[in-house]
Amino acid sequence: MVTIRIAIGEQRDASYDIMVGRGILQDIGSLVPSACRAARYAVISDATVAALYGAGVLARFADASLSAELFEFPPGEDQKTRATWSMLSDRMLARNFGRDAAVIALGGGVVGDVAGFVAATYLRGIPYVQIPTTLLAMLDSSIGGKTGVDVPAGKNLIGAFHQPRLVVADLDVLGSLPAAQLVAGLAEAVKHGVIADREYFEFLEQAHDDVRARTAKPLEHAVTRSIEIKSEIVAQDERESGRRAILNFGHTVAHAIEANANFSLLHGEAVAMGMVHEARLAEMLGIAPRGTAQRVRALVAQCGLPLERPRESSIDDLLRIMQLDKKARAGSVRFALPRAIGAMQGNAETGWTVTAPEAAIRASLALD
């Protein structure tokens, strides 16, 4: 088992452990109470994950004489809503969960975001633990404390920063994850390489097939290296006032593509497309040297991810959505762009995002 400790906040006063290993879900009866002691645990999961792992998790709590109850909702991005948040909160209230309770988020990013938001707001906030069960949740969404729900106006627009007390990533649960979901998670791993670590990007260029085949060592390396990169960035900038923005590489375009496709794409697929277009934009603006975009595109292709925006999404529509995005300022769209593989444009003074002329954005969105 590998443990990565993340220290958050100005004083680095809050810290928690991210544990990565095989079979460690068997140990949650001891891991959870030592990091997050509570009188009762509300285990929140979606129906798919609950059917696979819910009973096992409850049994480990029972073995350790801990009180735990399962609360589930249907799977899918379209369930990441205020309605799900209020249904879960109301059911916990009806079961008399008090301030001495804690939430266990057992599932992918959807479960982690909703359950985290329930924990952030329940009786003004109770602690929670993340047990991510998708690759994307393990190497990205379970870390950093962003919680929330989607609303008609856009993704993740209502939410809170609320850091978990512990993250337990058991690689064994990836055995049941559908291949398309595994591949979608790889998109965020590629992103981590581009934004912060050229060697890691090169590792993925070599090992993408092994990671996709879930070979133990390469898969473990991808999860732990991505977690280290994300933790390091988040620790410096918990609330995204500065460098944390580099995690949005690929995401300005991705969020527009997702919204335009009515969230019918997987998040990782949209991120893959977004990285290809935004890397091209970085070259067009003279920020990244020639060849950078092609290298990103080649790795995205090798991972089995889609390469460009869906044909049905028009450039006009995508631009309009980007101009409305919460990260846009006064209608001008901002991007986090690489200046090379492994390094992002920007610094503490200028900030970590750049605006781009509309003509360049349009050109970068042209289909091949």
Ligand X SMILES: NC(=O)c1ccc[n+]([C@@H]2O[C@H](COP(=O)([O-])OP(=O)(O)OC[C@H]3O[C@@H](n4cnc5c(N)ncnc54)[C@H](O)[C@@H]3O)[C@@H](O)[C@H]2O)c1
φ, ψ of residue 250 to 5 degrees: the values are 85, -15
Distance separating alpha carbons of residues 247 and 230, to the nearest angstrom: 8
Quick one: 46 or 197, whose CB is closer to ligand X?
46
Q: Interface with ligand X includes 77 (CB under 6 A)?
A: yes
Q: Which helix (H) or strand (E) holds 73?
A: strand 67-73
Distance separating alpha carbons of residues 178 and 296, to the nearest angstrom: 24
Is 251 an annotated catalytic residue?
Answer: yes
Residue carrying structure tokens 């990007």:
201
The CA–CA distances, whole Å, from 270 to 234, 273, 307, 339 equal: 22, 5, 9, 22
Stretch that binds ligand X, among 4-12, 58-66, 140-148, 235-243 (CB under 6 A): 140-148
Among 107, 250, 274, 338, the residue binding ligand X under the rule CB under 6 A is 107
Angle between helical axes of 179-196 and 267-284 (0-180°, round to 10): 30
Q: Print the binding letters for residues 290-329 with ligand X: x by CB under 6 A, - otherwise.
A: ----------------------------------------
Minimum distance from residue 58 beta carbon to ligand X (Å): 17
Catalytic residue among 80, 155, 244, 309: 244
Quick one: 52 or 151, whose CB is closer to ligand X?
52
Among 167, 173, 182, 194, the residue binding ligand X under the rule CB under 6 A is 173
Distance separating alpha carbons of residues 86 and 88, to the nearest angstrom: 5
Angle between helical axes of 179-196 and 198-212 (0-180°, round to 10): 170
Quick one: 146 or 297, whose CB is closer to ligand X?
146
Contact yes or no for 261/286 (Cβ under 8 A): no
Catalytic residue among 96, 124, 311, 349: 124
Is 221 an annotated catalytic residue?
Answer: no
Distance separating alpha carbons of residues 286 and 15, to the nearest angstrom: 39
**Residues at the contact surface with ligand X, assessed by CB under 6 A:** 46, 48-49, 52, 75-77, 80, 107-111, 113, 133-134, 136-137, 140-141, 144, 146, 155-156, 173, 176-177, 181, 184, 267
Q: What residues are labeled active site? A: 124, 146, 188, 230, 240, 244, 248, 251, 255, 267
